[in-house]
Amino acid sequence: MRRNGLSLVSAIVLFGAVLIASCAKPYHEQDERYVFVATNTGLPYWQEARAGFADAAKMLGVQGELIGPTGYAPNAELVAFRQAVEEYPSGICLSAARPEIFQTEIDKAISLGIPVICVDADAPDSKRLLYIGTDNFKAGRDSLKQMAALVPSGNIVVISIPGQRNLDDRVAGVADALKNFPAIKLTRILDDKGDAKTAFDQVSELIQNKEKVDGIICLEATGGSGAAQALHRQNMEGKLQIVAFDADPETLDWIAKGAIAATIAQKPYVMSYYGLKFLDDLHHNAVHKFKDWRAVLAAPAPTFVDTGTVVVDKNNLNPYREALATQPKSL
């Protein structure tokens, strides 16, 4: 009898707990939606970021969507950001192609109570709540150090997109690191506009004009494969050193073929995965230092989260590939 009595009490307690739980307000609303506005979404880099954003959304039980132009088009990205704000999502991640054109719109979103954090490319003069991504100045320095190990002296060319804040920071890092390698001269900065074909044409022209170039540093994702294709066309693999940026499948293939010596690989999946988690914490005021992040002088979040980089070359290419959960593919 005593055992049956205890079982009955336990059942009543369990039933009460289930009843309370069923009446409790869920942490996440059914229509809770987060948006990532990105640049050049046709690149494998951004498809990897999309995967991180989707995985974080699935884990939290919310909606997550990555949007933006399929080519490098800052004004089109700005239109996408404005449309996202008009839909009043729970939070927005943004990679600001041109920070100066986004500042007013970011500030407007914050004033509406929509948390905005910058991922991959920052807009530091805006009211964005934090930046999560690569320390781009350091990444630029690392690119030059890799090149210096391959070309101790000589002329180098940089491929970038002038005016894009994160890439400008990388160029500044290269320039700073040159102070330690006086035998290396930076002779040109090329603008490939985020297009591998443009990089191919520019490097092909350098070769055809027989310009004295000993190394090429590519500071954005598409430049490496474009430059490598130009060398391949001229049967010059290994004769002119290339240090690329990011780990697009084509870049990794060119490392395997010997046309690219190394690449500085970022972590777009990690950036977007934790980017959504930070947004979710801000939306729910999960960090209880203040009553509400909207009414404080500084948000209860880190100011800068460095997701780091890894140098990938022929020596560690296979382990790097094997460690990847998936290989992003072009749209």
- 188-220 per-position pLDDT tens digit: 999 999 999 999 999 999 999 999 999 999 999
* Total-model pTM: 0.87
- 3-state SS assignment for residue 53: helix
* Domain 136-265, architecture per CATH: 3-Layer(aba) Sandwich (3.40)
| C-beta of residue 226 within 8 angstroms of C-beta of residue 203 | yes
Q: Which residues of the chain have pLDDT under 70?
A: 1-26, 326-331
Place of tokens 């890894």: 310
Domain locations in the chain as residue ranges: 33-134+268-307, 136-265
Q: Residue 132: phi, psi to the nearest 5?
A: -125, 125
- What pLDDT is attached to residue 330? 38
- What pLDDT is attached to residue 324? 85
Residue 328 has which token pair?
């992003």
- What pLDDT is attached to residue 27? 78
Give the distance between the most distant pair of CA atoms in the chain. Answer: 98
Tell me the C-alpha distance between 273 and 64, whole Å: 10
Torsion of CA 234, 236, 241, 247, to 10 degrees: 70
- What pLDDT is attached to residue 328? 52
Best CATH choice for the domain 33-134+268-307 from the list 3.20.20.140, 3.40.800.20, 3.20.20.105, 3.40.50.2300: 3.40.50.2300
Fold match flag (33-134+268-307 vs 136-265): yes
- What pLDDT is attached to residue 169? 96
Indicate the helix (H) or strand (E) that contains 158.
strand 154-160
Residue 158 Rama label (left phi>0; alpha psi -120 to 50; beta): beta
Helix 99-111, helix 74-86: angle, nearest 10: 0
pLDDT in tens, 60-77: 999 999 999 998 999 999
